[in-house]
Amino acid sequence: MNQTTNVANLPPSGTTAPLQNVALCTRLLEQAMNRPGHLPGIVAFSGYSGLGKSISAAYAANKHRAHYVECKSTWTRKFLLQAILKEMGVSPANTIPEMVDQICEELVLSSRPLIVDEMDYLVDKKAVNVIMDIFEGSNAAILLIGEETLPTKLRKWERFHNRVLTWELAQPANLDDTKHLANLYCKEVTIADDLLQRIQEASRGTVRRICVNLHRVQQVALSELGQDSITKAEWGKRELYTGEAPARRA
């Protein structure tokens, strides 16, 4: 069996291009990890939902054994710190300053990076300074992930904003990404390039919608047409999922 076929993200063979965002996100984290000592080590990756930011983070986290936390809207500063410590396997101290110290120590010693997903919630909760304290105390590489408005929201926190080394935006999926996703998740049916292009356009670059559409196309090819390949002509006027509610019929 060809082992490389199941590698989602960055196949070692180099024959298939990795998903753009996976490559971007990993490069961003590595930039923070390998920066010269005098530069700040916080990097931010933001973009619309559904572009595959979290799967990009998963790859980057696995590659560098990063500590990963996903914030919730209800979280307080204390809960954030407890969540990070839990993710490190350290039993949390009682007070916020002690917990910050515990986190810093672990980050310094392990030299593993920290990834904070759904950072938007923290901005709203004003827990931004806690992240800054962690950075100041550890000088660790920290990757923040959030929605497309994250950079604007953070502008309010000028001291924090200054410490961000690079801002990167997640990109909508292009045709190569669509092909790559088809190779991964639509193995039983070969989809012609013209139909893949339609799928990419209809999905407007959202990885999640592309996957839904690939699944639909595969179903139609297998059960309605009974064949293991399909072109745009064969797909015909069938609807693709665009994420919009259907228009009113006349």
Residues 21 and 173: their CA atoms lie apart, in Å, by 8
**Interface mask toward other proteins for 209-238; x: CB under 8 A:** ------x---x---x---------------
Among 87-95, 128-136, 161-169, 224-232, the segment contacting other proteins (CB under 8 A): 87-95
Provide, rounded to whole angstroms, the least separation between the CB of residue 92 and other proteins: 12
Residues 83 and 198: their CA atoms lie apart, in Å, by 42
Provide, rounded to whole angstroms, the least separation between the CB of residue 87 and other proteins: 6
Question: Cβ closer to other proteins: 138 or 200?
Answer: 138
Residues 75 and 163: their CA atoms lie apart, in Å, by 23
Among 31-39, 53-61, 125-133, 147-155, the segment contacting other proteins (CB under 8 A): 53-61
CB atoms under 10 Å from CB of 126, counted, come to: 11
Q: Is 105 in the site for other proteins (CB under 8 A)?
A: yes
Q: Is 62 in the site for other proteins (CB under 8 A)?
A: yes
Nearest partner of 117 among 163, 183, 49, judged by Cα: 49
Residues 184 and 4: their CA atoms lie apart, in Å, by 11
Provide, rounded to whole angstroms, the least separation between the CB of residue 27 and other proteins: 14
DSSP labels, 147-187:
-TTHHHHHTT-HHHHTTEEEEEEPPPP-HHHHHHHHHHH--
Nearest partner of 173 among 149, 137, 209, judged by Cα: 209
Question: Cβ closer to other proteins: 7 or 129?
Answer: 7
Residues 178 and 195: their CA atoms lie apart, in Å, by 10
Provide, rounded to whole angstroms, the least separation between the CB of residue 219 and other proteins: 7
Provide, rounded to whole angstroms, the least separation between the CB of residue 197 and other proteins: 23
Q: Is 73 in the site for other proteins (CB under 8 A)?
A: no
Question: Cβ closer to other proteins: 3 or 249?
Answer: 3
Provide, rounded to whole angstroms, the least separation between the CB of residue 127 and other proteins: 20
- Crossing angle (nearest 10°) for helices 207-219 and 175-185: 50
Do the strands 114-117 and 190-191 form a parallel or antiparallel pair, or are they unpaired? unpaired
Q: Which residues bind other proteins (CB under 8 A)?
A: 3-4, 6-10, 12, 54-55, 57-59, 61-63, 67-68, 70, 86-90, 105-106, 109-112, 117, 184-185, 215, 219, 223
